[in-house]
Structure 1
Amino acid sequence: MEWYQPVIVFCVAFVVTYCMVPVSKRIAKALGAIDYPGNRRVNRQPIPRCGGIALYAGMAAACFMVLVGVRCLGWTFEDYYVLEGIDYPLLFVGVTFVFTVGLVDDVTQLSALVKLAGQIMGAVIIVAAGVSIGGVRSIIEGNYVALGWVDWPLTVAYLVVFINITNLIDGLDGLAAGLIAIVSTAFLYLVWVRGSYLLMFACIALIACCLAFLRFNFFPASIFMGDSGSHLLGLLVGIVSVVGVVRTQGFVVMLVPLVIAGVPAIDTVSAFIRRLRGHQSPGRADMGHVHHRLMRAGLSQKRAVAVLWLSSAALAFVGCMMVGLSGPTRWSLFGVLAVVIFFVIWRFGLFRPVLKHHYDNRDKRGPRLPRDQR
């Protein structure tokens, strides 16, 4: 692989995403996909969502660039970790399906169950395309163990988890896009170590799309990525995680992607437990997320986002270190990390009962209006 190839892919993804953001704004306004200030929202003026359209266009352009480079420009690269048995057209269909589910939700506000069903269907298509965990190495003997019939449901659940942890953390200007860029950078290192250049292109394109989108999404945001963007980014990170890190690895290394994505992962688990304790639906929105708690502690949006970005970068660094370590050292690092996470959960009270806030105008089309304007 020549040095200019990833540079070209990065530039294509960045430029296309950057140029498509204004188009996404116009589409959102035409469809009525607007986030109005309300009980649970931190924005103080109407902001169009559907920014996922720009992210989707940027990723599609990057994929097309790689295809043109291989077939027309003579690009060649040795993939030491070959992605065998993957049906790329079907994979594209699955990714597009999940993106579409998020886009429909941006416009029509789907119920939690309908949205979850759409996520599962999209994940099933992707697993049918050949993206699956396949097997892991035994903790005791180190032998490769095929997952058998558990492979499909486990991979589907894994992908759906990544979709939702990205969706739930998208609560402050620039937070989700920055976290995905950090997570993708860590994954870029991991797939580079394994020698998978195709996955390197995917990570580079993800980073480029997120950075371009941050130009418009960082505080004060002029557009939100919406569920279309969070679904797309979460799914793509999940796919890279499954194919580039989890597949054929040991049990502890399987946990590395969740360590790298630790900030949104912890927030998602705490939200699920909070809502069950509060006798709320797990899909019901609330104001108990970690970014909300940081703001209630007195931090501004910018500072809260910076704290979570730094925390994510630290976890990403630890996750990358865990791959390079083995034996007692790896387990010791994992134990220290568990203690730190427990302290953070206790300090911020992430498992307190859910607050009584929810989306207004639930299951209705058009803009989300505050209760006093209904």
Structure 2
Amino acid sequence: MSPLFEALLTAWPRLLLVAAVAFVVAEAWRRLALRRGVLDVPGHRSSHAVATPRGAGIGIAVASALAIALWAPQGTERSAVLVGGLVVGLVGLVDDLRTLPASWKFAGQALAALPVAIALPLAPDGLPIVLPPVLATAASVAMVLLFVNAWNFMDGIDGIAAWAAVAVCASVLVVAGVGGAALVATIAMALLAACLGFLPLNFPKARAFMGDCGSHVLGLGLAVLVLAAPRVEGAAVAMAASAAFLVDVLGTLALRARDGEPLASAHRRHLYQLVTRSGYSHARVTMAYAAWMLASGGGMVMAQQAGLDAIGAGLILFATVSAWWWLQRHFSSHLKERGQW
């Protein structure tokens, strides 16, 4: 019996509890949001057509925080993750209730990243370059900000952010037992269960959106899967599984900068937006991303088992960037030909 199967067999009552808490809290918030008018009203850049309650990702935040507080190994790292998650979740929740200026929102994200970076500087065993402490801490802050904003920006169609997180967590759990990564395994299981509990409200047809509260907490938690990995192999799997989101965000940012667009303004140029605007359903695009991310994470695991770590990482990055570039150009051209750009 594999270590992963044994761990899941032992942990399934806890996972069910986490999923149930996520669902109950998210559903309670959905009903409250309907009564109080906390709604995401569709605009000309929206991917949805019906005003929908937002902020229900508080269910993910509460459930995952509860699991980490109860079952993660005690220590500075756990406390830092909980404090960072609390801050970034509150920043997101405030933005869900009343839109924050972009500068304030980014400052709140950076404040949340700081305790995580101090407790978990980027220094897994096997990293080719040993960074000085100050640079390792700065790299961790950058990693948290990258993941938080990636999940925030990519949370634009039904289920995509939650299913993507499930794909990353599932990939990480395959290797989480390597090197005694108890904190990584606990956080991966907590996020996976919380997302599965939330998804009935968000997929295949959203009755509630997770909002910034949920996407912020997911982003921070997934960044911790990279930063808390004892060895570079575990961090590489988390990065490989997340590559489709990270490449989409960074690539789209680069294209918008090239075209002189205001980077803080709303837009619909992410690949998933181009595909849905071309007529594909939210569900199909969401599951395509989840499959893409599972394949990348699984491919990285197989490359490591074959002793081809660096080659595998390079091939996955090349394949992800190439696929994103080709698909982005294809669907952009398609929309321009139809006069829908």
- TM-score norm. by structure 1 comes to 0.80
The separation in 1 between residues aligned to 2:127 and 2:168, in whole angstroms, is 26
- Equivalent residue, structure 1, for 2:133: 148
- Equivalent residue, structure 1, for 2:120: 131
For 1:127, give the aligned amino acid: A
- Equivalent residue, structure 2, for 1:234: 219
Counterpart of 1:185 (choices 154, 165, 170) is: 170
- The 3 A distance-change label for structure 1 pair 33 and 319 is farther
Aligned 8 A contact 1:132 1:151 in 2? yes
- Equivalent residue, structure 1, for 2:338: none
Q: Deviations over 1:119-151 (max 9, x none)?
A: 1111012223x1222365464xxxx83532211
The separation in 1 between residues aligned to 2:130 and 2:74, in whole angstroms, is 18
- The 3 A distance-change label for structure 1 pair 334 and 237 is closer
The separation in 2 between residues aligned to 1:234 and 1:15, in whole angstroms, is 21
Aligned length: 328
Indicate the structure whose relative CO is greater, using CA pairs within 8 Å and at least 6 residues apart: 1
Are 1:278 and 2:268 an aligned pair? Answer: no
- The 3 A distance-change label for structure 1 pair 4 and 346 is closer
The separation in 1 between residues aligned to 2:297 and 2:322, in whole angstroms, is 18
Structure 2 residue matching 1:349: 3-state secondary structure = helix
The separation in 2 between residues aligned to 1:335 and 1:236, in whole angstroms, is 25
Alignment of 1:218-233 (within 5 A): 218-233=203-218
For 1:249, give the aligned amino acid: V
- Equivalent residue, structure 2, for 1:116: 106
- The 3 A distance-change label for structure 1 pair 86 and 342 is same
Counterpart of 1:99 (choices 72, 89, 104) is: 89
The separation in 2 between residues aligned to 1:3 and 1:91, in whole angstroms, is 23
Are 1:315 and 2:304 an aligned pair? Answer: no
Aligned 8 A contact 2:236 2:313 in 1? no
Aligned 8 A contact 2:121 2:133 in 1? no
Structure 1 residue matching 2:214: 3-state secondary structure = helix
The separation in 2 between residues aligned to 1:218 and 1:170, in whole angstroms, is 12
Structure 1 runs, 4 residues or longer, greater than 6 Å off: none
For 2:121, give the aligned amino acid: S
Counterpart of 1:346 (choices 325, 331, 335) is: 325
For 1:240, give the aligned amino acid: L
Aligned 8 A contact 2:244 2:320 in 1? no
The separation in 2 between residues aligned to 1:172 and 1:19, in whole angstroms, is 22
Structure 1 residue matching 2:76: 3-state secondary structure = coil
For 1:203, give the aligned amino acid: A
Q: How many Å apart are 1:254 and its aligned residue?
A: 5.0
- The 3 A distance-change label for structure 1 pair 8 and 121 is same
Q: Deviations over 1:186-229 (max 9, x none)?
A: 11112123332343222111111111111110031100000000
Aligned 8 A contact 2:154 2:161 in 1? yes
Which is further off, 18-27 or 149-158?
18-27
Larger radius of gyration: 1
Q: CA RMSD in A?
A: 2.7
Aligned 8 A contact 1:24 1:50 in 2? yes
Aligned 8 A contact 2:27 2:201 in 1? no
- TM-score norm. by structure 2 comes to 0.87
Counterpart of 2:45 (choices 28, 37, 40) is: 40
Alignment of 1:253-332 (within 5 A): 255-326=236-307, 329-332=308-311
- The 3 A distance-change label for structure 1 pair 319 and 25 is same
- Equivalent residue, structure 1, for 2:157: 172
- The 3 A distance-change label for structure 1 pair 156 and 339 is closer
Aligned 8 A contact 1:293 1:348 in 2? no
- Equivalent residue, structure 2, for 1:370: none
For 2:252, give the aligned amino acid: A
Q: How many Å apart are 1:248 and its aligned residue?
A: 4.6
Structure 2 unpaired stretches of 5+: 1-5, 336-341
Q: How many Å apart are 1:335 and its aligned residue?
A: 4.0
- Equivalent residue, structure 1, for 2:71: 66
Aligned 8 A contact 1:12 1:61 in 2? no
Structure with higher helix content: 2
Structure 2 residue matching 1:299: 3-state secondary structure = coil
Q: How many Å apart are 1:272 and its aligned residue?
A: 1.1
Counterpart of 1:54 (choices 49, 59, 66) is: 59
- The 3 A distance-change label for structure 1 pair 117 and 212 is same
